[in-house]
């Protein structure tokens, strides 16, 4: 050790030694940078970075050695063999290539093994370089020093690349330090191993030439190494930029730029992980109420425009602790962490206002609104999935209750879900067991009171639950996918029974929107008519506007095929929902059924009467007779008849029943009208 220190201090020009150190440190830093690129790339890119890294490291080692040799003071004449000097440079580069490849291998000891190979390369460089250094004198080598220098180089360089593979904050700094120490230790231990017995005095190179050579080498090396390091930096930056962009794309919804489901769940997990932060947290689910109408009426582009505008609005109302995400379709979600429940209510208020305020675009305007469900962390769930599921349930409750106010989750909702699930299972069993039956409600022409048909209405009398209203189980069957088999059964049964009636009355069968979009519908109807022997003219299918709006082109295609078979089509529940002229104009319906809600208002509401009058007039214009539904009172009958409805259906003329109505009785009831007094006053 003392020999090494003595050799360094007494036999070297310390200024040039300092220059060598600058090269060594800068070069080591560049080597570490380049190596990080090797680690971050694959395939031919990795190979390219290995070559560049080896050139950087090799040049650094070689130049350090070269400048340090310039710093070495000897009284003997010296010449440098140019070929061997070049070979020493190529040797270290050549050995560093496999060294770097090994070091980037990714296994636990890859760094140490590869680093060792690089250390060997450094040693080879040094001793080939020494062979190029021809001194006019007797050179003797102390072998233990030679061996020690080689081992030091291998060991220290192995440590340098081993620490680079660790996940330590200071790994770059310590790797630079270890690598520099490896190069320096090898060189000066190697120099201490060499003893020169001077035979004749003289000068190899003049002092001035040495300084010029050393400085030029340093500058050239720094340029080469610097360029390599800069390309590593640029590549690293570009890659992390690309990574950042990819990550943003993976975690954000492309249409609205809001966080997506994955990001939202990550956010929830992060919030659950915080301890001692906010005391409370709520997860909110939002489902837009009339979004589908906008999408169906104005097209998907309009729908997208609306979603983007809503997202911008929602983002603009956020305060610290609040986050909004789009989970897909028209489903938005939000999370808020708060200390005081008033903050939660305030956030819900802002969400409601933002979704309800109308949207004005060049091409259209829209008012949507949202159904909002809320679940509270720790009370309703202890992890993101549970909270999301509970908020979802609460949102469905808000939706089914048509509630504009946010709905908070409560445990009864789980019961409701279970009950619905059981009902669906029972419904399947009932269908197999043939537990359904059809009731028929009479429809009468006005003003004569002649029976003009019957509407088939399904009944489910469950032995345990009792009578279950269709308004309860039909929507369930639609959701569970059981509606098509159920609907087929209804068709078959209605046609079969009607074919056996004593009088050839038409029979009306309700068609669910989902059944209309079933590709097998037309074929089913055809085979049902054939089997039952019911003439197509006696069958009328009733459907609502929503059935047509859903997938208009296909719906109309189906309707035309049915009509071509001679089947009549009625538009049911007209006046509620869309009530669009567009639908009325798009298909020649055989009947418009005015929804019962109008008739129930008619006695007290002049506006209902004028709507009734307009619809009846529209029916005349479009050549579609209007039937008034839900007529319960003679007064209502009188008004609807006077205003132009050509048929009625309701409890007044007959309730739905297993048996058909008595024609005389229907005529008698229909004739009650003229006796009514005071009716005129309403209109
Ligand atoms: P809808 O097609 O509008 O059927 C008329 C509903 O009004 C029937 O209720 C009927 O009993 C009731 N109604 C008739 N006259 C009066 C009246 O004067 N006053 C009052 N308050 N109600 C009256 P129901 O049978 O409970 O059916 C309800 C809904 O369930 C139906 O409305 C229809 O949408 C659906 N539905 C019923 N049967 C079937 C079916 O076989 N297939 C399909 N897809 N849906 C059905
Ligand atoms: Ca109906
Ligand atoms: Ca109806």
Residues 148-153 have a mean pLDDT of 95
Residues 540-550 have a mean pLDDT of 88
Q: 596 CA to middle of ligand 1, Å?
A: 10
Which ligand has an atom closest to residue 650 CA? 1
Q: 628 CA to middle of ligand 1, Å?
A: 13
Q: What percent of the chain has pLDDT over 70?
A: 95
List the shell of residues around ion ligand 3, using CB closer than 5 Å.
572-573, 629
pLDDT of residue 578: 65
State whether the beta carbon of 572 lies less than 6 angstroms from ligand 1: yes
pLDDT tens-place string over residues 423-473: 999 999 998 888 899 999 999 999 999 999 999 999 999 888 889 999 999
Closest CA to 258 of 335, 338, 314: 314
pLDDT of residue 276: 59
For ligand 1, mutation pick of 456, 470, 488 (most atoms within 8 Å of CB): 470
Count of Cβ atoms closer than 10 Å to residue 318 Cβ: 14
Q: 659 CA to middle of ligand 2, Å?
A: 18
152 neighbors 182 (Cβ within 8 angstroms): yes
pLDDT tens-place string over residues 280-308: 899 999 999 888 888 888 888 899 999 99
- H runs (alpha helix) in 165-274: 171-192, 207-251, 261-273
Q: 594 CA to middle of ligand 2, Å?
A: 10
pLDDT exceeds 70 at position 404: yes
Q: 640 CA to middle of ligand 2, Å?
A: 18
Pick the CATH number of 261-409 from 3.30.70.270, 3.40.50.620, 3.10.20.590, 3.20.20.70: 3.30.70.270
Specify the higher pLDDT residue, 147 or 551. 147
Where in the chain are all domains bearing CATH 3.20.20.450?
422-682
Residues 580-604 have a mean pLDDT of 88
Q: Report the alpha-carbon distance of residue 304 to residue 294 in Å, rounded.
A: 10
Name the least confident of 275-284, 328-337, 644-653: 275-284
pLDDT of residue 205: 62
Backbone angles phi, psi at 394, to 5 degrees: -65, -40
441 neighbors 493 (Cβ within 8 angstroms): no
Backbone angles phi, psi at 274, to 5 degrees: -75, 130
261 neighbors 65 (Cβ within 8 angstroms): no
pLDDT of residue 683: 41
Q: 483 CA to middle of ligand 3, Å?
A: 18
Q: 561 CA to middle of ligand 3, Å?
A: 23
Element (H, E) at 88: helix 82-103
Q: Count each helix (H run) and each strand (E run) in the chain, helices first.
A: 25, 20
pLDDT of residue 156: 96
Residues 49-65 have a mean pLDDT of 92
> How is residue 388 written in tokens?
């999301």
Three-class SS of 407-432: EECCCHHHHHHHHHHHHHHHHHHHHH
pLDDT of residue 579: 62
Residue 190 CB burial class (10 angstroms; 0-12, 13-18, ≥19): buried
pLDDT of residue 598: 85
pLDDT of residue 681: 40
pLDDT of residue 279: 66
Element (H, E) at 540: strand 539-543
pLDDT tens-place string over residues 22-45: 999 999 999 999 998 898 888 888
Which ligand has an atom closest to residue 474 CA? 1
pLDDT exceeds 70 at position 385: yes
Residues 657-662 have a mean pLDDT of 95
Q: Which atom of ligand 1 is nearest to the CA of 456?
A: 41
Q: Could you tell me how far CA 112 lies from the centroid of its own chain? A: 43
CA distances (Å), 47 to each of 179, 249, 365, 669, in order? 22, 29, 58, 95
539 neighbors 506 (Cβ within 8 angstroms): yes
pLDDT of residue 244: 85
287 neighbors 371 (Cβ within 8 angstroms): yes
> Which class in CATH covers the domain with range 422-682?
alpha beta
Q: Report the alpha-carbon distance of residue 491 to residue 224 in Å, rounded.
A: 86
Residues 299-321 have a mean pLDDT of 93
Confidence class for position 218, pLDDT limits 50, 70, 90: confident
Name which residue sits closest to atom 8 of ligand 1, judged by CA.
Answer: 457
CA distances (Å), 654 to each of 179, 247, 440, in order? 99, 66, 9
Which ligand has an atom closest to residue 573 CA? 3
Q: Which atom of ligand 1 is nearest to the CA of 573?
A: 3
Per-residue burial over 448-459, b = 16 or more CB atoms within 10 Å of its CB, e = otherwise: ebebbbbbbbbb
pLDDT of residue 43: 86
380 neighbors 387 (Cβ within 8 angstroms): yes
Q: 137 CA to middle of ligand 1, Å?
A: 118
Q: Report the alpha-carbon distance of residue 65 to residue 62 in Å, rounded.
A: 5
Q: 574 CA to middle of ligand 3, Å?
A: 8
pLDDT tens-place string over residues 173-205: 999 999 999 999 999 899 889 888 877 666 556
3-state secondary structure of 287: strand
Q: Report the alpha-carbon distance of residue 183 to residue 123 in Å, rounded.
A: 9
pLDDT exceeds 60 at position 61: yes
pLDDT of residue 677: 43
pLDDT tens-place string over residues 473-508: 999 999 888 999 999 999 999 999 999 999 999 999
Confidence class for position 682, pLDDT limits 50, 70, 90: very low
pLDDT exceeds 90 at position 550: no
Name which residue sits closest to atom 4 of ligand 1, judged by CA.
Answer: 457
State whether the beta carbon of 573 lies less than 6 angstroms from ligand 1: yes
pLDDT of residue 679: 44
Which ligand has an atom closest to residue 455 CA? 2
Where in the chain are all domains bearing CATH 3.30.70.270?
261-409
CA distances (Å), 542 to each of 445, 452, 455, 597, in order? 17, 15, 9, 18
pLDDT exceeds 50 at position 236: yes
pLDDT exceeds 60 at position 14: yes
Residues 542-565 have a mean pLDDT of 90
pLDDT of residue 675: 52
Q: 572 CA to middle of ligand 2, Å?
A: 6
For ligand 1, mutation pick of 436, 440, 457 (most atoms within 8 Å of CB): 457
pLDDT exceeds 90 at position 167: no
Name which residue sits closest to atom 42 of ligand 1, judged by CA.
Answer: 510
Q: 573 CA to middle of ligand 1, Å?
A: 10
pLDDT exceeds 90 at position 408: yes
Name which residue sits closest to atom 11 of ligand 1, judged by CA.
Answer: 656
Three-class SS of 27-68: HHHHHHHHHHHHHHCCHHHHHHHHHHHHHHHHHHHHHHHHHH
Element (H, E) at 293: helix 291-298
161 neighbors 114 (Cβ within 8 angstroms): yes
Kindly report the average pLDDT of the chain as a whole number. Answer: 89
Residues 554-574 have a mean pLDDT of 95
Q: How many CA atoms lie within 13 A of 512 on its CB side?
A: 25
pLDDT of residue 523: 95
DSSP designation for 662: P
pTM for this prediction = 0.55
Name which residue sits closest to atom 12 of ligand 1, judged by CA.
Answer: 630
Per-residue burial over 282-308, b = 16 or more CB atoms within 10 Å of its CB, e = otherwise: bbbbbbbbebbbbbbbbeeebbebbbe
Name which residue sits closest to atom 20 of ligand 1, judged by CA.
Answer: 630
State whether the beta carbon of 636 lies less than 6 angstroms from ligand 1: no
The torsion defined by the Cα of 102, 106, 111 and 113, in degrees rounded to 10, comes to: -50
pLDDT of residue 674: 54
Q: Which atom of ligand 1 is nearest to the CA of 632?
A: 18
């Amino acid at each position: 050790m003392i020999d090494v220190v003595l050799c360094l201090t007494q036999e070297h020009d310390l200024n040039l030694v300092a220059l060598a150190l600058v090269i060594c440190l800068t070069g080591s830093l560049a080597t570490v940078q380049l190596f990080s690129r090797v680690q971050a790339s694959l395939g031919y890119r990795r190979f390219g970075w290995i070559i560049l890294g080896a050139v950087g490291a090799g040049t650094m080692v070689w130049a350090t050695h070269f400048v340090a040799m310039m710093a070495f003071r000897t009284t003997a004449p010296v010449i440098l063999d140019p070929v061997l000097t070049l070979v020493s440079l190529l040797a270290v580069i050549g050995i560093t290539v496999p060294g770097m490849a090994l070091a980037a291998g990714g296994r636990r000891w890859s760094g140490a093994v590869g680093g060792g190979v690089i250390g060997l390369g450094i040693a080879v460089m040094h001793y080939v370089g020494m062979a190029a250094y021809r001194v006019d004198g007797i050179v003797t080598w102390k072998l233990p020093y030679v061996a020690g220098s080689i081992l030091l180089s291998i060991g220290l360089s192995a440590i340098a690349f081993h620490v680079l593979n660790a996940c330590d904050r200071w790994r770059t700094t310590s790797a630079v330090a270890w690598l520099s120490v490896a190069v320096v230790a090898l060189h000066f231990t190697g120099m201490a191993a060499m003893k020169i017995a001077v035979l004749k005095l003289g000068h190899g190179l003049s002092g001035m030439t040495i300084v010029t050579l050393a400085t030029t080498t340093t500058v050239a090396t720094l340029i080469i190494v610097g360029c390599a390091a800069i390309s590593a930096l640029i590549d690293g930056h570009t890659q992390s930029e690309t990574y950042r962009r990819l990550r943003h794309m993976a975690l954000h919804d492309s249409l609205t730029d809001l966080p997506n489901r994955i990001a939202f769940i990550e956010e929830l997990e992060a919030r659950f992980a915080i301890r001692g932060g906010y005391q409370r947290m709520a997860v909110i689910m939002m489902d837009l109420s009339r979004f589908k109408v906008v999408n169906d009426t104005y097209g998907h582009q309009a729908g997208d425009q609306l979603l983007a505008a809503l997202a911008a609005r929602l983002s603009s109302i956020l305060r610290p602790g609040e986050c909004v995400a789009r989970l897909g379709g028209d489903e938005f979600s939000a999370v808020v962490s708060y200390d005081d429940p008033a903050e939660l209510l305030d956030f819900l208020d802002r969400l409601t206002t933002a979704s309800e305020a109308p949207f004005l675009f060049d091409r259209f305007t829209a008012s949507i609104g949202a159904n909002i469900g809320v679940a509270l962390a720790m009370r309703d769930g202890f992890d993101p999935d549970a909270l999301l599921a509970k908020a979802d349930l609460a949102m469905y409750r808000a939706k089914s209750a048509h509630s504009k106010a946010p709905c908070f989750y409560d445990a009864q909702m789980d019961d409701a879900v279970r009950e619905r699930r059981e009902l669906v299972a029972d419904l399947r069993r009932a269908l197999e067991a043939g537990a359904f039956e059809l009731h028929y409600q009479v429809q009468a022409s006005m003003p004569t009171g002649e029976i003009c048909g019957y509407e088939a209405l399904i009944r489910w009398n469950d032995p345990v639950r009792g009578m279950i209203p269709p308004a309860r189980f039909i929507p369930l069957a639609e959701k569970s996918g059981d509606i098509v088999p159920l609907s087929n059964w209804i068709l078959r049964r209605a046609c079969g029974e009607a074919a056996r009636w004593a009088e050839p009355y038409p029979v009306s069968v309700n068609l669910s929107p989902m059944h209309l979009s079933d590709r097998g519908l037309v074929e089913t109807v055809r085979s049902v008519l054939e089997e039952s022997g019911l003439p197509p003219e006696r069958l009328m299918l009733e459907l609502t506007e929503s059935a047509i709006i859903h997938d208009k082109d296909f719906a109309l295609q189906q309707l035309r095929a049915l009509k071509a078979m001679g089947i009549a089509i009625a538009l049911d529940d007209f006046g509620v929902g869309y009530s669009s002229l567009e639908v009325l104009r798009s298909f020649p319906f055989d009947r418009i059924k005015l929804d019962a809600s109008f008739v129930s208002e008619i006695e007290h509401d002049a506006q209902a009467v004028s709507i009734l009058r307009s619809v009846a007039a529209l029916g005349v214009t479009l050549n579609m007779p209007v039937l008034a539904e839900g007529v319960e009172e003679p007064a209502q009958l009188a008004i609807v008849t006077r205003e132009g409805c050509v048929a009625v259906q309701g409890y007044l003329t007959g309730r739905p029943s297993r048996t058909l109505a008595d024609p005389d009785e229907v005529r008698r009831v229909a004739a009650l009208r003229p006796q009514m007094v005071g009716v005129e006053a309403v209109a």
